Amino acid sequence: MTRVLATGTFDILHPGHVYFLTQARALGDELFVIVARDSNVTHKPKPVVPEEQRLEMVDALGTVDKAILGSEKDMFEPLKEIRPDIIALGYDQHFDIELLEKELTKRELHAKVVRIPLSKKCPLCSTGAIIKEALKRYG
Ligand SMILES: Cc1cc2nc3c(=O)[nH]c(=O)nc-3n(C[C@H](O)[C@H](O)[C@H](O)COP(=O)(O)O)c2cc1C
Ligand SMILES: Nc1ncnc2c1ncn2[C@@H]1O[C@H](COP(=O)(O)OP(=O)(O)OP(=O)(O)O)[C@@H](O)[C@H]1O
């Protein structure tokens, strides 16, 4: 069994997320997802949807075998239990593949890190774009 791990904020689900998770799932036999904690989303505006609700939506997707909320303190903590064979990174996730693999090896975790490309064009395949459109109409 090849276990794949995908991570992300997943604030306001859209087909880009479905594409990312479907591609990640296709890399192995089962897909685990770590949903980012509200307190850790500092690289962009805070999520509109609270973490428990983001988790509930991701966990309900057919492609996802198990979704959990990440650690608030240490991103490597949940990996000790999940022990993924492959980690799928999104096209815009700010991690360097080599550096991440080195940090994993240091902790005796031996996952291959793979980057999933951007999906083909779709009108609102970005949480930021959905929020902008909603503000234009209702703001
Ligand atoms: C291997 C790995 C483990 C992660 N573990 C956590 C975690 O435990 N808690 C958390 O809040 N974020 C964790 N993250 C970070 C986020 O889930 C997410 O990748 C990050 O916020 C950037 O993605 P985004 O642009 O979708 O928000 C982890 C990321 C990676 C690559
Ligand atoms: N259109 C897309 N194609 C492929 N992957 C995507 C797409 N949109 C999001 N993802 C991936 O899904 C994961 C979670 O995405 P995230 O929660 O950052 O949403 P987002 O729509 O990219 O947000 P924002 O628009 O605020 O940057 C990330 O790994 C991201 O790269």
**Ligand 1 contact via 75 beta carbon (within 6 Å):** yes
Q: Is 90 annotated as a binding residue?
A: no
Which ligand has the minimum distance to the alpha carbon of residue 129?
2
Three-state DSSP string of 6-35: EEECCCCCCHHHHHHHHHHHCCCCEEEEEE
| Dist. CA 83–CA 81, nearest whole Å | 6
ipTM of this complex > 0.85? yes
Whole-number Å distance, alpha carbon 128 to ligand 2 midpoint, is 9
Q: Is 16 annotated as a binding residue?
A: yes
10-residue block means of pLDDT along the chain (139 residues)?
98 98 98 98 96 98 98 98 98 96 96 96 94 95
Which ligand has the minimum distance to the alpha carbon of residue 84?
1
**Ligand 1 contact via 40 beta carbon (within 6 Å):** yes
Of ligand 2's listed atoms, the one at least distance from the Cα of 122 is 1
**pLDDT score for 110:** 93
Q: Is residue 100 within 8 Å of 79, Cβ to Cβ?
A: no
| Dist. CA 87–CA 31, nearest whole Å | 10
In CATH terms, 3-138 corresponds, of 3.40.50.720, 3.10.20.30, 3.40.50.620, 3.20.20.70, to 3.40.50.620
**pLDDT score for 139:** 86
**pLDDT score for 79:** 98
**pLDDT score for 72:** 98
| Dist. CA 124–CA 82, nearest whole Å | 32
Closest CA to 57 of 90, 110, 18: 18
